[in-house]
Structures are given as structure tokens and as C-alpha cells.
Amino acid sequence: MTKLFAMKKSKKIKEKSSINKKELREKKKKKKKILKQRDENMNNVNNSSTGSGNHASNNGEKKKRKQLIVKKIKKKGKINPETTGGTFLFEKKEKRKNNTMKQNMKRVDNTILDKKCKNIMNDENLSKSKKKKLIKECKKKVVIENYDYYKKLRLYFNELLQAKDKAEKKKRITIIWNELKKVELIKFARTNLGYHVMSSLIINAEEEDQNKLWEGLFPHFNNIGTCNFVSLIFQCFYKHAKSEKIKNDIFLWLLNHSKLFLTKFASRLWHTVFKKLKTAMRIKMINFLLIPNINDIKNISPEILKKAPSEMIKTFNEENKMSIKKYLMETIENIVEKELLYNIVSHNILLAACEILNEEELINVMEIIHEGCEYLISTNIGNKALIYLLGYSTSKHKKNLIKLLKNNIVDLCKNSVNFLLVIRLLKITDDTKILNDMIVQKIVSDFENLLNDYYGFYVILEFFYDINEHNEDKYFNVTWKNMIYSKAVKSVKDGFKRKSEIIQPIIEQLLIVFLDKNKLNKYLKDKRYIFIIYEFLSYTQNEQVLKNLLFFIEQIIYLYKNEANINEMYNCKHINDLFRRFFTSSRSYNLLSKMLDGCTFYEKLCNIFLLDIEIVLKSELIKTFNNLFIFVKQKDINMYEKFLTCTGQVNNREIYNELKQTTPKLTYFNKYLELINVDINMEKE
């Protein structure tokens, strides 16, 4: 039993020893592999750093390092990461750098660069810095090749621009079109050169070529939201397309992708398309932007979308109205956030908001847009929206806007759209100091030019009417009046007080102008200046300017006596109109009161007419005489009796017969006869 047991034991020991030997062999093999890898890496490092000159000395150093590493391995029986860590770190660094190199290589065209770069990377004789330089040069070569191709296209493009004959242009277009077939259209369209080449094709090409290019680009329409050049190309299509189908396709695509309006580049296409559309199509486009989702709105028909926004919303129930208003507020917030307040479509949305939203909501809208509201003045619609919204703005908002516009006030006053904005600010801004410093003084600095300007005249005229004098302001256009006299919820100051605090510099300038007889006579020849002369005299009752008017009447009578041509020098019709306003308008109360309180103008006017009564009755001045007669009859009994005695001495029948030969209608002379209670027919009998 013992022998058998011993035999078995010896067998087990032999088996164990054989297993241990195998393990040791495998370990030795692994160690050899690691040492080989380390040697190879060290060789690469030495080759790159020292070169072949120091080869012998490096071999001696290598042997010493090997011996030290082997001794340590024998002692510990395993690889110490501290001693061999340099090799592992080296490998890690190499891996990282290789990865970055690979990523950079992917960015370049793989078909051209792969082979060259791989050869460079696999070349062990090259250092890392050298590899980088060579790869960069390869990339540059590829870019140069692309630029060479673009230069070729640019040459064709320049030749197309220089071509004058239709046949030559057509030839150049076909050459460019054939070259474009070699590239991917949408990629080329994203470049500056691509935009210029394609836009020139669109402008100069025939309808067939335009359609071909359109078919190639239309599937990539959504690129307008991400690339400026693509957006510009589609804008060019809409402006210059000879086929109405292309324009209609663009319009319908924009309607179906209304959310893209809130992107920077796509909004520019909306801007271009909207400006070219007719009113009905514009309304439809705005309605699509106002409605959050047509599928969400219940019981909506296509006909409703053709109505104006204010009328469209009336057809909806309360639930739909609330959803539209909520979405409209969100859209306005997005417009401001995306910096789209310059866009004409945004201006239309804000104008629609003025018609749809209530007072509180409009106050919120003004709070949202106040930092960029100056962009609204670039269009008629935007200016109109801003004028309405200023009624819901705080004094701080108005101050900020005035400060932004202060250097352009004179130009704004002369502008056919923006002059209304200046008038609106003058009527509703409570801070009269900022009005005087930044608006009134600018107007005064260039006063006569503004007075002679068509729109500047209205700015000066409106100084005489405050925010509460809508009915008194009779000369202004009705639509303009509705804008500048619209609600001003946030304005607290009394209108008359505001007017009196800003009008004085304007009065002083008008006085300087009207004291000059020649200038006053020049302005009397133009009908619209009668209103400003009348308002000035009603407000100031300036006797010197009134004396100038008396001088003109005396001169007209003198010219009638000498049978001279009056119309060359004076306009009797306008002078009559001015005096009619003095005697009939309610705004002349202060002036008339002053006349009756011993004003020399009133007495002199009566004396001038009574002194040459027959000439006055034969001339156009009879209109003013009749108005003066009515005033005297109502207000001054003594003067009325004097008038009756003077007119009683006149041969009315002779004047009547004389006038009947020259003028078919004697309306004003008949009125005079009524005032003096004389019937010519009875006198004949």
C-alpha cells in the first residue's frame, strides 16, 4: 500500500513540476515580448531625436537599461510599472495623437487624402513634427485644387457678366450649367461663389434653365433656415423667376412652414416675398402666422383666412380667440428674441396685435418690444404700429426712443411716413424738457426748411393742437388724425399745458418769418399756409403781423384803382379765406375780443373798406367786406350804423349792372344787398 501511495505521490509531484515549468516558459515569453516592444519604441525615439550619428553610444545605454530591467524582473518575478511605465505612457500619448490625426483627416476628402496620409503616418523614419507638416501640406493641396475649380467657375461667371449679346450670354450659361452638373448643387449653393453664380444664372437664364436649377434646389428648401446664401438664392428666384409656378411654390412652401419665419435667414425670404405680394395674399400670410395650428382651431374654413386679422378673429369662439391671443404674444416674444423687429412681416404682426389685443395685453407688447421699437420706423406699417403702441408705453419708453431718434429728427420730419411719429411724440410725451431739448430745438435749428417742406409743414402746424383737440384739427387728413389722436393710456399730463410748454420756440420762429412782408405774402399765395398763419394770429394776436395784412389789402385796392394785374402780386382768394376764419371760427375768440377792446387793426380795417367802398364792392375783397359786415352787425352797433350810412350813399344799381356784364353769378354782391336790406328789382320798378 505504501509503495502504491508513494508511486501516486511521485506522479503528482512530477505533474506539478511540469505545470510550473510551462507557466515559467509562458512568463518568459511574455517578458521577451515586452522587452522587444520597449526596444522598438526606444529606437523610434532615438532615431527621431538624435539621428544616426550617435548610434553606437545609444546601443551601450540600451544594454545597461536592459540589464537593470532584467535584474528587477528576476528579483520580483513580475513587471514593475514604475520601471516600464515610460513605455506605456509613450504608447498612450501615441494613441491620443493618432486619434486626433485621424479626426482631422476625416474632415478632408477621404478619397484624396487617405493614401497619402497613411503613408506619412506609417513612415518610421519621419518625426512627429515632420508628419504634421506633410499632412498640412496635403490638405492645402486639396484646398488649392478646390479653389482652382472655383476659379474656373468664377472666370465663366465674369465672362457671363461681361457678355452683351443674347447668344453669347446663352453660350456662357450653358457652359456654367454643364460645370454645375459636376458638383452637388446644394453644397455649392452654400458658398459665396455659389450664390453669385446661381443668382446670375437665375437673372440671365431662360425659363427652361431656371426650371432646371429650381428642380435641383427645391428639395433642399429647408436649408433657407440655416444658410444665408441659400436664402439669398431663393430670394433671387422669387424676384426674377419667369415662371409664376416657381413664385407660387415659394409662397405655398412658406405658408406650410410658418415656424421657419422665426429663423434669421428664412425670415429674410419672408420679408422679400411679403413686399412683392398683393394685399389679399399678404393678409393670408399674416393669418397663417397668427394661428398656432390650423388643426387645433375648431370649425375653421379657408374663407376665414382671407379676412383681415381683426375681422377673422371675430368669427372664432372664445376658446379659439384665447389660443390665438396667447400664441400671438409668444410669437412677438420670439420675434424680439430672434432680433426680427426689422422685418416687414413682424411689423404686420404687431399692427394686427394692435387691432386684436386688449389694453393690458398691448401694454405687455410695448414692454416686450420697447428695446428695439426703433426698427419699426423703417416701414409704413411698422411706423403705424409704433404710433398706436406708443399710447401704451411708459414715459421711460418714450424717453429712450426720443434719445435714439434725436440726431435724425429733421430727417424724420421730412419723411412721408415718420413725420407722424414725431407729431405723436409731441402730443403724448409728458416730459416736456426732453421734448424741448431733443425735438423742438432740432426743429428750430432748421425751421424755414421744415416750414417749406411738405411734411415738415404739418409737424409745425400740429404744435397748435394738443391731444384733446381732435375736432379742432380740421386741416389734417382723417387717417392721419386717427393715428396721432389714438389712445394714450399712459399719458397723464394735461394736453393744453403740454402744448403751452413746447410751443413758444415755434411761435418765435414764425414771428420772424411773418414780420417779413415778402415772406408773408409768399406764404399767403399757398393755400395750406393760411392755416398756420391763422393759428399763429389766433394764438398770439400779434399786431405787427396784422398790420402787414392791412398793407396787403391797401395795395390790392390801389391796384384795382389803377386797373393793374393783381394776381401777379397777391392772392385775394386766400386773403379772403384767412379773414373769413378770423370772423367765423371759434378758435378766433381771443383775437376778436382784442379787436373789440380797442385794437387799431379792427378800426383801420373798417376805415380802409369804407373809404373805398365802391372799389371794394367791385373787387374780390367783397367777400371779406361781407364777413366784416356780419361781425360788425353782431358785435358793434356804432360801427354797424356807420356801415349803413356809407353803403346808403353808394349807387348799388350801377355797380350791379356793371358786375353783371363781367361775372355771370353775383352771389357775394347779392349777399351784400341782403345785409343792407336793398332789393335791386324793386329799385328798378
Categorize the per-residue pLDDT at 367 as very low, low, confident or very high, splitting at 50, 70 and 90.
very high
Minimum mean pLDDT among 214-223, 501-510, 650-659: which range?
650-659
358: helix, strand or coil: coil
Q: Are residues 558 and 448 part of one domain?
A: no
Angle ∠(459,490,400) on CA atoms, nearest 5: 65
Burial status of residue 436 (CB atoms within 10 A of its CB: 0-12, 13-18, 19 or more): middle
- pLDDT (average), residues 323-350: 92
Q: Are residues 666 and 588 part of one domain?
A: yes
Given a contact cutoff of 8 angstroms between Cβ atoms, the answer to whether 488 and 391 are in contact is yes
Alpha-carbon span 329 to 291, nearest angstrom: 12
User: What is the biggest distance separating any 2 CA atoms in the chain, rounded to whole angstroms?
Assistant: 184
**What percent of the chain stands above pLDDT 70?**
75
User: What is the phi/psi pair of residue 372, to 5°?
Assistant: -125, 20
Is 373 among the domain residues?
no
Alpha-carbon span 408 to 399, nearest angstrom: 15
With residue 508 as reference, give the H or E element that holds it.
helix 504-514
Q: Which long-range contacts does 449-455 make (Cβ < 8 Å, 24+ apart)?
A: 449/410, 450/410, 450/413, 450/414, 451/513, 453/413, 453/414, 455/413, 455/414, 455/415, 455/416, 455/419
- The pLDDT of residue 16: 45
Which residue type does 669 have? F
Categorize the per-residue pLDDT at 400 as very low, low, confident or very high, splitting at 50, 70 and 90.
very high
- pLDDT (average), residues 74-93: 46
Minimum mean pLDDT among 168-177, 231-240, 666-675: which range?
168-177
CB neighbours (10 Å) of residue 304? 17
453: helix, strand or coil: coil
Q: Which long-range contacts does 551-558 make (Cβ < 8 Å, 24+ apart)?
A: 551/517, 552/517, 552/521, 552/524, 553/605, 553/608, 553/621, 553/624, 554/608, 556/619, 556/621, 557/608, 557/612, 557/615, 557/616, 557/619, 557/621
Strand residue runs (E) in 105-162: none
Using the Cα atoms of residue 533, residue 539, residue 540 and residue 543 in order, give the sign of their dihedral: positive
Which of 472, 487, 514 is the C-terminal boundary of a domain? 514
Q: Are residues 645 and 617 part of one domain?
A: yes
Is 332 among the domain residues?
no
Q: Are residues 608 and 562 part of one domain?
A: yes
Is 385 among the domain residues?
no
Q: Are residues 460 and 555 part of one domain?
A: no
113: helix, strand or coil: helix
Minimum mean pLDDT among 85-99, 124-138, 216-230, 353-367: which range?
85-99
Q: Is the model's pLDDT at 56 over the cut of 50? A: no
Minimum mean pLDDT among 7-16, 142-151, 332-341, 626-635: which range?
7-16
Q: Is the model's pLDDT at 94 over the cut of 80? A: no
- The pLDDT of residue 29: 67
Q: Are residues 531 and 501 part of one domain?
A: no
Categorize the per-residue pLDDT at 674 as very low, low, confident or very high, splitting at 50, 70 and 90.
confident
- The pLDDT of residue 81: 43
Q: Which residues contact 650 (CB under 8 A, 6 or more apart)?
A: 613, 614, 617
Alpha-carbon span 324 to 336, nearest angstrom: 18
Buried b (16+ CB within 10 A) or exposed e, 309-344: beebbeebeeebeebbbebbbebbeebbeeebbbbb
Which of 482, 514, 546 is the C-terminal boundary of a domain? 514
Given a contact cutoff of 8 angstroms between Cβ atoms, the answer to whether 98 and 121 are in contact is yes
Q: Which residues contact 531 (CB under 8 A, 6 or more apart)?
A: 461, 475
Alpha-carbon span 501 to 435, nearest angstrom: 9
pLDDT tens by residue, 290-328 = 887 655 555 567 777 788 888 888 888 888 888 889 999
Q: Are residues 468 and 600 part of one domain?
A: no
CB neighbours (10 Å) of residue 428? 25
CB neighbours (10 Å) of residue 524? 23
pLDDT tens by residue, 183-193 = 788 888 888 88
357: helix, strand or coil: coil
Q: Which residues contact 571 (CB under 8 A, 6 or more apart)?
A: 524, 525
- pLDDT (average), residues 46-69: 49
Angle ∠(657,659,660) on CA atoms, nearest 5: 65
Is 328 among the domain residues?
no
Q: Are residues 571 and 652 part of one domain?
A: yes
Categorize the per-residue pLDDT at 102 as very low, low, confident or very high, splitting at 50, 70 and 90.
very low
Categorize the per-residue pLDDT at 634 as very low, low, confident or very high, splitting at 50, 70 and 90.
confident
Cα→Cα distances 226→222, 229, 258, 652, Å: 8, 9, 15, 87
- The pLDDT of residue 48: 43
Is 26 among the domain residues?
no
SS (H, E, C) 589-649: HHHHHHHHCCCHHHHHHHHHHHHCHHHHHHCCCHHHHHHHHHHHHHHCHHHHHHHHHHHHC
Instruction: Let me know how long the chain is.
Output: 685
- The pLDDT of residue 9: 42
Burial status of residue 519 (CB atoms within 10 A of its CB: 0-12, 13-18, 19 or more): middle
Q: Are residues 543 and 672 part of one domain?
A: yes
Categorize the per-residue pLDDT at 50 as very low, low, confident or very high, splitting at 50, 70 and 90.
very low
pLDDT tens by residue, 440-461 = 999 999 999 999 999 999 999 9
Categorize the per-residue pLDDT at 364 as very low, low, confident or very high, splitting at 50, 70 and 90.
very high
Alpha-carbon span 54 to 56, nearest angstrom: 6
* CA neighbor of 639 nearest in space, from 588, 589, 603, 600: 603
- The pLDDT of residue 138: 62
Which of 514, 546, 566 is the C-terminal boundary of a domain? 514
Q: Are residues 497 and 533 part of one domain?
A: no
Rg (CA), the chain: 47
- The pLDDT of residue 89: 47
Structural domain count of the chain? 2
CA distance from start to end of the chain: 184
- The pLDDT of residue 161: 64
Alpha-carbon span 210 to 240, nearest angstrom: 10
Alpha-carbon span 29 to 21, nearest angstrom: 12
- The pLDDT of residue 563: 81
pTM (global) more than 0.75: no
* CA neighbor of 201 nearest in space, from 163, 157, 150: 157
* CA neighbor of 537 nearest in space, from 505, 515, 517, 569: 515
Is 149 among the domain residues?
no
Of residues 550 and 60, the one with the higher pLDDT is 550
Q: Are residues 524 and 491 part of one domain?
A: no
Of residues 213 and 292, the one with the higher pLDDT is 213
Q: Are residues 580 and 472 part of one domain?
A: no
Q: Any idea what DSSP says for residue 224?
A: G
Averaged pLDDT score across all residues of the chain: 80
Q: Is the model's pLDDT at 500 over the cut of 90? A: yes
- The pLDDT of residue 464: 94
- pLDDT (average), residues 269-281: 92
Q: Is the model's pLDDT at 13 over the cut of 80? A: no
- pLDDT (average), residues 396-404: 93
Given a contact cutoff of 8 angstroms between Cβ atoms, the answer to whether 305 and 280 are in contact is no
- The pLDDT of residue 352: 93
Minimum mean pLDDT among 111-120, 556-565, 573-582: which range?
111-120
Query: Which residues constitute the domain of residue 591?
Result: 517-685
Q: Is the model's pLDDT at 262 over the cut of 60? A: yes
- The pLDDT of residue 109: 47
Pull the grid cell for residue 363.
401694454
Minimum mean pLDDT among 450-454, 504-508, 603-607: which range?
603-607
HSE-up of residue 324 (Cα within 13 Å, Cβ side): 28
Residue in the block written with cell 407729431: 423
Alpha-carbon span 309 to 361, nearest angstrom: 16
**What percent of the chain stands above pLDDT 90?**
39
Pull the grid cell for residue 214.
429650381
Is 649 among the domain residues?
yes
Q: Is the model's pLDDT at 208 over the cut of 90? A: no
Is 496 among the domain residues?
yes
Minimum mean pLDDT among 191-195, 388-392, 573-577, 619-623: which range?
191-195
